Amino acid sequence: MTWRDVDPTVHPFDPSQALDVVRDVVSSPDPESGRPRGLWSDNAVARGLAEHYGSWAFGWYNAVDESPGSGAIIQNLPTSGLGGGDLEQQAQRYTSAVLQWRAWLEEIAAVFAQFAPGSDTGSEERRRMRERAVAPLVTLVVERTGAGETWRGACAQTLTWYLESTGMSPMEAEELADEVVDSEFDSWVAPDAEVVGRACKAIGGHGA
């Protein structure tokens, strides 16, 4: 998904209605199996939520891993009960996932806004803004994921979305973010100031 797909500033969401929406989704039949989505699979529920809210609501599906040290964005959910016939338990679980995912999108969007170039921003200033944005974004990801096993994926995605928000094409943004994360960051290791500084300079020195 691109940043346009998930940007919370252009995709309205009422958290007070989330549980009711999720209840409807988990009890609705999965098109492939005919079983209630909530008793079939996480993917079935994610697809149902995306049908209601838009594609941003599918994003939690790839951001969930409850294993200790997983490095995922979402690691704390109510007990599953999958297959146990308890749709209310499933509704609580998936509502938590959607709310946590939405809160994450809003959190990074606020940082993006702090480092958003204007339409008249020159290429040199645009590069400087991108360079300054890297450290706070990496810090957010490290705090959220604990720099666990797969935290680099979450970091690359966050940096990709930020670069897209500044006008870089999705393909170029993804290639740059992946290259910087792969070359500078390690699994299970929170990067120190020197490593983050190199990442800042690598992104700030690229493109216009």
Long-range contacts of 35-40 (CB under 8 A, 24+ apart): 36/87, 38/87, 38/90, 38/91, 38/94, 39/82, 39/83, 39/85, 39/87, 39/90
d(CA 73, CA 90): 20
Higher pLDDT pick, 136 / 41: 136
Higher pLDDT pick, 171 / 81: 171
Cβ pair 4, 173 in contact under 8 A = no
Cβ pair 195, 184 in contact under 8 A = yes
Give the model's pLDDT for residue 161: 98
d(CA 58, CA 48): 8
Instruction: Please write the tens of the pLDDT for every residue from 87-115.
Output: 888 899 999 999 999 999 999 999 999 99
Structure confidence at residue 208 as a pLDDT band (50, 70, 90): low
Nearest to 141 by CA among 157, 129, 128: 157
d(CA 74, CA 99): 10
Packed helices 193-204 and 123-145: angle between N→C axes, nearest 10 degrees: 140
Give the model's pLDDT for residue 88: 87
CA distances from 149 to 57, 125, 158, 187, 197 (A): 24, 35, 16, 5, 22
d(CA 63, CA 57): 11
Percent of the chain at pLDDT above 70? 96
If 0-12 CB within 10 Å is exposed, 13-18 middle and 19+ buried, where does residue 80 land?
middle
What φ, ψ does residue 29 adopt, rounded to 5°?
A: -75, 135
**Helix count (H) and strand count (E) of the chain?**
8, 0
Hey, CA dihedral for 63, 66, 67, 73, is it positive or negative?
Answer: positive
Q: How many residues does the chain have?
A: 208
Instruction: Please write the tens of the pLDDT for every residue from 16-63.
Output: 999 999 999 999 999 989 989 988 889 999 999 999 999 999 999 999
